[in-house]
Amino acid sequence: MLDVNLLRKDLAHVIARLETRASPQTFLDVERFQRLEAERKTIQTETEQLQARRNALSKEIGQRKGRGEDASAQMDEVGGIGARLAASAERVDAVQRELAAMLMALPNLPDEGVPVGPDETANVEIRRWGTPPTFDFAARDHVDLGAPLGLDFETGAKLSGARFSFLRGPIARLHRALAQFMLDTHTGEHGYTECYTPYIVNRDVLEGTGQLPKFKEDMFWVSRGGDEESPEQYLISTSEISLTNSVRERVLAADALPIKLTAHTPCFRSEAGSAGRDTRGMIRQHQFDKVEMVQIVHPDASAAALDEMVGHAETILRKLGLAYRVMLLSTGDMGFGASRTYDLEVWVPAQNTYREISSCSNCDAFQARRMQTRFKNAQGKNDYVHTLNGSGLAVGRTLVAVLENYQNADGSITVPAVLQPYLGGTTTLRA
């Protein structure tokens, strides 16, 4: 959530930054905001005047009583002021709730250094690593390569519908090996604490990280036994949600920062806005696994933490020997809560292109303000932390990349050296 003081002090600047994402009318009803702000200021001024008048009357009442004089008129006026103050407080609360609802619908402001553009066409390539493999045979895609190894979309569709998969045998073992390798690297080399989190969370948790209220249609939600009166609950679309919210409504000690958390979880996305995209294979599924990284840091450290997190995701790709590139996303391509985002895109031979495999974002204080997560600063005052999140990596897409980049002419898959210990020393996967 944006700091409302930003809008009060320089509304034109906020609109200009939002406009780099999309039309400002999409995000902020300026006329309504200004009307509510004017009403809030008027009530605040009237409240201060009434409080001053009540204080003066209270003093006068005391003086009159001390002199033995009648103070009933002053006391009646104080009673009337009390009723007016109560009504003003009730109206201020209503105005503040309206303002808060408006702020909850606003995306984060892009960092000044983010390239301005409408979509992914304005993203900027930062660097590349590795050389895409060449084959002396016709490269096959992961669907054809995976089928003999246990990748089964037919059973997944029979059980749950389109965009679900069923893994068995060698392919299931490879999938598990990838997740374990990622967790071991992030915990053993990068200093993250491994977590196991709920896969179902409450509505206010999703509001904390920004998935709600705007993106409900992208979520799967559940009810308990069909009870319509039970609270709304949702399947997580990423463990960023549960990891980041683990510090919600807390005031942290400054020396507890940074907090670095990681988890391997399934992720559930309805993909409401992606009809017709990547319908073949594992690139875009309703259920997929991901190893997530989250950092909770001091505001002064978040820019460096983002670079560090990108490096942690890169380490996984480098250890796997997969060619990739790093892209700085434009204002029109960033997520709702991000102020700055880097995507890592891995080479996918069958598509002859790079595809996103990790997204690392700095959210500044945007999520912390929604979650009310603060720390004691050097002056002893409560200040908002900064939050960051990144994929380290998407397990299914990494599986796709390993299958396609390490394929052999006979359809077997050479197992990357770093994964062999997780597969009992197996060097090649065969049907």
**CATH 3.40.1190.20 describes domain 120-429:** no
The reported pLDDT for the residue numbered 25 is 53
Of the residues 91, 284, 325, 355, which is catalytic?
284
Q: What is the distance between the alpha carbons of residues 309 and 258, in angstroms, rounded to a whole number? A: 12
Q: Which residues contact 259 (CB under 8 A, 6 or more apart)?
A: 193, 247, 252, 295, 296, 297
361 neighbors 334 (Cβ within 8 angstroms): yes
The predicted structure's pLDDT at residue 231: 82
Q: Which residues are annotated as a binding site?
A: 238-240, 269-271, 292, 356-359, 389, 391
Residues in binding site for ATP? 269-271, 356-359
Least confident of 45-59, 124-138, 275-289: 275-289
Contact 368, 386 (CB under 8 A): yes
Query: What pTM did the predictor assign?
Result: 0.92
Alpha carbons 336 and 104: distance in angstroms, whole number: 11
Whether 46 is catalytic is no
% of the chain exceeding 90 in pLDDT: 87
CA-to-CA distance for 201 and 208, rounded, in angstroms?
11
Least confident of 75-79, 192-196, 308-312: 75-79
pLDDT given for residue 271 in this prediction:
76
Residues of each domain in the chain carrying CATH 1.10.287.40: 4-105
pLDDT in tens, 116-139: 999 999 999 999 999 999 999 999
Active site residue 356: yes
CB of 339 closer than 8 Å to CB of 111? yes
State the span(s) of the chain assigned CATH 3.30.930.10.
120-429
Tell me the residue ranges of DSSP E strands in 112-167. 124-129, 151-152, 166-167
User: Dihedral, CA atoms, 38, 204, 358, 329, nearest 10 degrees?
Assistant: -10
Catalytic residue among 17, 163, 369, 397: 397
Is 284 among the catalytic positions? yes
Has residue 369 got a pLDDT over 90?
Answer: yes
Q: What pLDDT, on the 0 to 100 scale, is given for residue 23?
A: 61
pLDDT digits (tens, 9 = 90+) for 218-266: 999 988 766 667 788 999 999 999 999 999 999 999 999 999 999 999 9
Residue 280, pLDDT score: 82
Binding residues for L-serine: 238-240, 269, 292, 389, 391
Among residues 269, 369, 370, 374, the one annotated as catalytic is 269
> What CATH number should be reported for the domain whose range is 4-105?
1.10.287.40
* Residue 176 to residue 402: CA distance in whole angstroms: 13
Mean pLDDT of the chain: 94
Catalytic residue, candidates 242, 302, 330, 359: 359
